[in-house]
């Protein structure tokens, strides 16, 4: 009997690649999350009303969506190393520029530029991880990679309020901008593609036809839109709403958000590791997580003291984040490794439309109603509706072709091909 395995080659360099991709994604996440705790001070400094602060976040996400859509294609075309390095390097430069903004219009422009650069990193990072980690090991790798979004939130909410107290909101943008630039330079120097995917640029422009009409990717995009509606609506507005809507002290409100993000740092790799080890259906696991996320948002809407928020925060943080590595690991499986960058960029761009729309919607809802509870019920509608398209993704679609590998079974593990012993 001959066994054809899809195991990742025996090399430790894949952990260097994963670490650098994670570091770049972490810094773009810190850059994005800095707006939440800094928003009030920025508004006071630049003369922006509370309702108008949501437009700043929406402007960022517009740029982020655009760069997601084209960044993955660029990673498949000219290479993921250049895409990841340039993405974080340029976004760091515009963070520095935003820290120097002295008008409403200039602030909006630099926010859009930060988003326009930062989003390209996602598709490039997933492409690199796909090239170094085989499908049956990819859940854990994606779990580690996706801790970046929650860790970015933790860092921003732990550091920014204190920097504002001791210095100003501009200091936080200067600090994180400089760190982002350093990470970008390291990525350009050290990253390289792995053996599981053909090198970008060797075969001309990527052929995108296999992605057209891909039903599984379309359904996954719809589900992610609703899921991120809840997550990034909370990230963008929870800090300010606890302060303005309930009267919680800003530092205590920041602590709630820190706990919310901190628990996800540990739970994301864990969910990926468990999913890989137990061979769990990623579709069914996502549905269960979305049900729990919806429930936690509804419970959070009824809280009205700092103690209650602190108790709910860890449960909400786990459910608001652990669907992301599970869903992200499904993308290259549904698309195939060769087009993982383009598929990730396109799907994540659609996911981020939820992030783009929800800040402005929440701002309008709160301005019109003044109701903290109503805002969080609006947020809960996102993951609730996201459950529907997940039901229509077939578990049988969860397979992928890897160069030199056996065809995968429905659970994503390699088939064992039997021969008659003659070759």
* 210-228 pLDDT per residue, tens: 677 788 888 998 999 999 9
* Residue 16, token pair as written in the block: 């260097």
Tell me which residue has tokens 């995917």.
Answer: 197
- DSSP 3-state assignment of 402? coil
- Residue 144 burial (10 A CB sphere; 0-12, 13-18, 19+): buried
Selected residue with higher pLDDT from 241 and 87:
87
250 vs 40: CA distance, rounded Å: 10
Average pLDDT over every residue of 274-282: 77
Q: pTM of this prediction?
A: 0.71
**Phi, psi at 400, each rounded to 5°:** -150, 145
CB 87 within 8 A of CB 125: no
* Residue 341, token pair as written in the block: 């960058």
177 vs 22: CA distance, rounded Å: 17
Residue 101: CA count within 13 A, CB half-sphere: 26
Q: What is the largest CA-CA distance in the chain?
A: 79
Check pLDDT > 70 for residue 127: yes
Tell me which residue has tokens 């578990």.
Answer: 395
Please tell me the predicted confidence (pLDDT) of residue 421: 32
Tell me which residue has tokens 């396109």.
Answer: 346
CB 340 within 8 A of CB 126: yes
CB 339 within 8 A of CB 208: yes
Selected residue with higher pLDDT from 421 and 382:
382
By percentage, how much of the chain surpasses pLDDT 70? 87
- Comparing CA positions, the residue from 163, 156, 86 lying closest to residue 125 is 86
Dihedral class, residue 47 (left if φ above 0, else alpha if ψ from -120 to 50, else beta): left
* 360-408 pLDDT per residue, tens: 788 888 888 888 889 899 999 999 999 999 998 876 444 444 443 333 3
CB 288 within 8 A of CB 202: no
The lowest-confidence range among 10-14, 88-92, 176-180 is 10-14
Selected residue with higher pLDDT from 240 and 8:
240
Average pLDDT over every residue of 223-249: 85
Please tell me the predicted confidence (pLDDT) of residue 173: 92
110 vs 121: CA distance, rounded Å: 18
User: CB neighbours of 257 closer than 8 A, spacing ≥ 6?
Assistant: 36, 37, 153, 157, 235, 238, 239, 313
CB 84 within 8 A of CB 125: yes
Residue 209: CA count within 13 A, CB half-sphere: 1
Check pLDDT > 60 for residue 104: yes
- Comparing CA positions, the residue from 68, 34, 22, 30 lying closest to residue 179 is 30
Structure letter (DSSP) for residue 9: P
* 22-80 pLDDT per residue, tens: 999 999 989 888 887 888 888 888 877 776 777 887 788 788 888 888 888 888 788 88
Please tell me the predicted confidence (pLDDT) of residue 337: 67
Domain 13-196+213-397 has CATH 1.20.1250.20: yes
Q: Where are the domains of the chain?
A: 13-196+213-397
User: What mean pLDDT is reported for the chain?
Assistant: 81
Measuring CA to CA, how many Å separate 209 from each of 214, 298, 328, 342, 403? Answer: 9, 41, 21, 11, 19
Average pLDDT over every residue of 237-258: 83
Q: Which helix (H) or strand (E) holds 42?
A: helix 35-46
């Amino acid at each position: 009997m001959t066994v054809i395995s899809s195991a990742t080659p025996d090399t430790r360099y894949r952990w260097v690649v994963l670490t650098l991709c994670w570091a770049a994604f972490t810094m773009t996440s810190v850059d994005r999350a800095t707006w939440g705790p800094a928003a009030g001070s920025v508004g006071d400094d630049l003369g922006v009303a509370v309702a108008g602060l949501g437009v700043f976040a929406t402007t960022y996400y517009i740029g982020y969506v655009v760069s997601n859509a084209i960044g993955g294609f660029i990673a498949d075309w000219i290479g993921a190393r250049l895409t990841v390095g340039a993405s974080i390097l340029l976004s760091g430069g515009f963070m520095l520029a935003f820290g120097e903004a002295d008008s409403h219009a200039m602030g909006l422009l630099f926010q859009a530029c930060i988003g326009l650069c930062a989003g390209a990193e996602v598709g490039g990072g997933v492409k690199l991880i796909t090239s170094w980690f085989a499908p049956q090991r990819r859940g854990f790798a994606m779990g580690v990679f996706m801790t970046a979004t929650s860790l970015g939130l933790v860092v921003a909410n732990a550091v920014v309020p204190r920097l504002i107290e001791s210095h100003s909101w501009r200091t936080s943008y200067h600090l994180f901008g400089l760190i982002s630039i350093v990470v970008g330079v390291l990525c350009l120097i050290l990253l390289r593609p792995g053996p599981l995917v053909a090198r970008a640029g060797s075969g001309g422009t990527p052929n995108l036809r296999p992605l057209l009409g891909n039903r599984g990717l379309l359904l996954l995009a719809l589900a992610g839109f609703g899921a991120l509606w809840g997550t990034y609506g909370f990230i963008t507005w929870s800090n300010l709403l606890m302060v303005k809507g309930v009267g919680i002290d800003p530092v205590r409100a920041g602590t709630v958000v820190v706990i919310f993000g901190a628990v996800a740092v540990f739970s994301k790799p864990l969910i990926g590791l468990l999913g890989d080890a137990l061979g769990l259906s990623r579709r069914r696991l996502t549905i269960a997580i979305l049900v729990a996320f919806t429930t936690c948002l509804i419970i959070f809407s009824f809280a009205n003291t700092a103690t209650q928020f602190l108790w709910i925060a860890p449960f909400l943080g786990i459910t608001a984040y652990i669907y992301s590595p599970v869903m992200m690991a499904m993308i290259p499986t549904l698309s195939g490794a060769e087009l993982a960058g383009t598929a990730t960029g396109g799907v994540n761009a659609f996911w981020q439309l939820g992030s783009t729309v929800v800040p402005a919607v929440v701002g309008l809802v709160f301005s019109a109603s003044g109701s903290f509870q109503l805002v969080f019920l609006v947020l809960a509608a996102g993951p609730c509706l996201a459950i529907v398209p997940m039901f229509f993704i077939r578990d049988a679609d969860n397979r992928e072709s890897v160069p030199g590998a056996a065809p995968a079974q429905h659970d994503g593990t390699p088939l064992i091909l039997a021969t008659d012993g003659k070759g």
